Structures are given as C-alpha cells and as structure tokens.
Amino acid sequence: MSECIFCKIAKKQIPSDIVYEDEDIIAFKDINPGAPVHILIVPKVHISSLNELTDTELAGKMILAAKKVAKMYNINKSGYKLIVNTGEGAGQLVRHIHMHLLGGGDKNKWRIP
C-alpha cells in the first residue's frame, strides 16, 4: 500500500511526532488533535480497518501500546478514551486501522473523532 499515509509514517517516509514505537506498533500525535492528548496507535502492517483485522495478538498489542502511552502522558489515572472508527459511516478517513487515544483536560471539550 505505497499510497497509504500511515504506511508512509510507519516507514518514516513522511514525518510525524512519534511518541512510542516497537516491533509491531507505531504511535504518533494526531495532526489535528481533538483533546490535549490525542495519539494514534497504528500497527506497522497495512490492515485497512477493524473489519480486516484477524490477528488477535496484534489487537492486544494495540491496546497494550495505548495503555503504555496513556501512562507516559500521565492520563492513566485521570482517564482516557480509545476509539477505532471503522468504515465510512463511522467517519474512518484513513484506511489503515488506527486507534485514537484521547485524554487530558476537560473531557467535555474533547472533539470526539
């Protein structure tokens, strides 16, 4: 998927503010944040949406990476939200599976992606 923006970010072909990375996952700041902390948790392999995800281990790794990043940003106690938009009707704009991590400040002011 050479034209996929998140594949390009994962391969560091285009810049992003990377906050966490391991063998399978990359996490970077959303370019248009809806909350004081708004990070995208993205598997390095191209999977277009949750509908195409079958790897249970990778699914677990995404959630555990989100938990780590929440701790890094000190929002593990105050609270955070994980969102996986799936398909056009849910507003999934980038067709590479990603998990939004939102947290910090006043949750009533968050723009839910």
- Measured from the CB atom, the residue of 70 and 92 that comes closer to ligand 5GP is 92
Assess whether 96 carries a catalytic annotation.
Answer: no
**What is the three-class DSSP state of 91?**
coil
- Measured from the CB atom, the residue of 26 and 75 that comes closer to ligand 5GP is 26
Distance CA 12, CA 17 (A): 11
Continuous segment of H or E residues that includes residue 20: strand 18-21
Site string for Zn ion, 56-75 (x = CB under 5 A): --------------------
Pick one of Zn ion, ligand 5GP, none as the site partner of residue 87 (Cβ within 5 to 8 A by kind): none
Q: Which segments within 45-87 are labelled E, that is strand? A: 80-83
